Chain A
Amino acid sequence: MGAINEFAAVMENEFRIISREPGGLALLVILPYFVAGGTAVIASFLASVNRYRFAEQFIGFEVVMLSIIMMQTGARFLREERNGGRLEYLLASPTNMFIVLFGTSLVMASSIVAAFTVSLMPIAYGVYGVQGMMRALASIVLLMIGLMPLYGLGLALSGLVLRFRDSDSLMGLITSAASLLSGATYPMQALPRWLGFLVKVLPMHVLDDALYYELIGYLNAAHVVYLALASAAYLSLGAYLYGRLQRSLLRKGIV
């Protein structure tokens, strides 16, 4: 019960903070349309546009955006807490930092999943009709599972931000590299074999594939299994690395 109460407190607090940011609430409301409009324009530039290709590209760009947000959310939170002098109070509270990080990230994940779904549904309807729209709605579950491996990577990144003070450039580099290696916005066949392997190991490409196949009604069980396994693997790896880096911070001290 204690952990649930703490988790609820963290989520409630995060929602409250977002709602008090100047324009934060408005941004949350218009975010879906902003995302939909922005990515649609980008997709139409980069793809030879027929409606099926457009929908595929749209999902690809969404996956890249969501991946970046999901990987950075924990790290950004910790950086803000440190700058605001709150990090030590959080670390000195009995609440496990994983609960704090997961609670804040889940708020962000919920917002972006909602934004993704709202922006995808009109496109799904336009391209695949009512059935497509219903499948787009069902893809929420898939997306939540698919974001977990990215959250795992985000945990590792959070550990780096916690441990090293000047980690902004590192955070930028890692997220840029990850989005380039998403395999979601370009044909995989264009890549050398070794790079293709790396892309397949990262979760973005499979998430993109899974969402697209779900939209067209051909979701393969292998996609779901892969995402579930990737969730377990990346979350374990992220939690392990974060734990090591937090321990290292406790040895070194917060600067």
Chain B
Amino acid sequence: MSAVEARGIKKRFAAFERTGLISRRRIIVNALTGLSFDIGWGEAYGLLGPNGAGKSTAVKILSTLLLPDEGSATVNGFDVVSQPREVRRSIGLVLYPDKGFYARLSGRENLVYFGRLYGLSKSEADSRAAELLKLMDLSNAADRPYEEYSLGMRVRLSIARALIHDPPVIYLDEPTIGLDPISSKSVRELLMELKKNGKAILLTSHNLWEVEEVCDDVGIINGGRIIMEGEPSEIKARLGLKYVIEIDVSVGSSLKTLRVETKDPAVELRRLLGEVDGEVKGIKIREPTLEEAFVAAVSNGRN
């Protein structure tokens, strides 16, 4: 059984377009047009897509905040439509990392409150909150009001809330937005640790290198459906993205750089080294990035 299974989810929204001072026209927006993907236990799945592609709609359906028009989805084996309470118990959610808390309550009070809403007793919520505040490096600010927290602290508190009831599945929508590099790194390390502990993670982020570092599988969503899916390296290979090989060669007293783009770096490097006439001073091989893959996939989709 997968941790999360989405099968052919469709979602349409009715919206209104102004056509005059008073008059308006009803339009239908197809937010999801048959979304399917799986997340296994101990895996992180990166959902990538341009703005308006349907990422948030997908996350909301999987968190029972929206009902799908068609298709089905299960989380931890529970159906999102017919067993919403069980699904909610199974997930930890980071939707808006920088808000969603009571401004005048302290970080600890906020965590304890949400913990109790997830069925923890007061003492369980207290000890779990203390544990998470320590993990998120917020112990020193635990009793300060949330309104005094910096953006980075708010994000960390939001992640702590998602973990308060120790859920088996975690959704994170742009969790490192606004974080400094050290905090971002610690969040990534935490996500890797959670994966190791068997949790399933659904991550959306605009930091594609971050997705590449954390996620085992990536789904590129556009127009409400997955247009490409697989391991980051697979996606790059499938799109035929080229590696760049740079060889610094010393010929006499001058230093020349040979630069070649190739899909097969091992073969090409061997060939180049055989042909080089001079002393090789350095070799650099630059892999195509997930960002390039994303741009290529979305551009292909649009074309």
Contacts and interface: CB of A to CB of B under 8 A. Distances in A.
Interface size on B, as a range, is 20 to 34
A187 interface: no
B67 interface: yes
Given A5-B121, A5-B122, A253-B13, A86 B116 contact: no
B117 interface: yes
A90 to B, nearest CB: 7
Interface stretch (A13-21, A115-123, A216-224, A230-238): A13-21
A13 B113 contact: yes
Contacts of B145: 20
A253 B103 contact: no
A6 B117 contact: yes
Interface in B46-95: 57, 60, 63-67, 85, 88-89, 91, 93, 95
B89 A89 contact: no
A89 B114 contact: yes
A12 B117 CA distance: 12
A21 B104 CA distance: 7
Contacts of A21: 104
Contact of A89 (B64, B85, B100, B109): B100
Interface in A122-154: none
A92 B64 contact: yes
Interface string A98-110: 0010000000000
A76 to B, nearest CB: 15
A192 interface: no
A56 to B, nearest CB: 41
Contacts of B117: 6, 9-10, 90, 93-95, 100
A250 B100 contact: no
A90 B89 CA distance: 12
B88 A253 contact: no
Given A5-B119, A94-B85, A253 B101 contact: no
Interface residues of A, number: 30
A5 B126 CA distance: 14
B263 interface: no
B243 interface: no
A92 B93 contact: yes
A254 B99 CA distance: 16
B67 A84 contact: no
B104 A6 contact: no
A6 B88 CA distance: 15
A9 B85 contact: no
A252 B68 CA distance: 10
Contacts of A252: 13-14
Given A17-B102, A86-B101, A88-B100, A6 B65 contact: no
Interface in A43-90: 84-86, 88-90
A139 to B, nearest CB: 34
Given A6-B117, A86-B100, A93 B65 contact: no
A6 B119 contact: yes
A254 B65 contact: yes
B65 A88 contact: yes
Contacts of A90: 117
B116 A6 contact: yes
A12 B109 CA distance: 10
Contacts of B37: none
B93 A250 contact: no
Contacts of B64: 91-92, 250
Given A5-B116, A9-B117, A253-B66, A89 B13 contact: no
A21 B147 CA distance: 13
A2 B124 CA distance: 13
B149 interface: no
B96 interface: yes
A97 to B, nearest CB: 11
B93 A89 contact: yes
Contacts of A254: 65
Contacts of A193: none
A223 B242 CA distance: 83
A85 B96 contact: yes
B119 A85 contact: no
A198 B140 CA distance: 59
A239 B280 CA distance: 78
A84 B104 contact: no
Given A89-B100, A94-B119, 8 more contacts: A9-B113, A9-B117, A84-B99, A89-B161, A94-B85, A94-B118, A247-B67, A251-B66
6 contacts: A5-B122, A12-B113, A17-B104, A85-B95, A88-B60, A92-B65
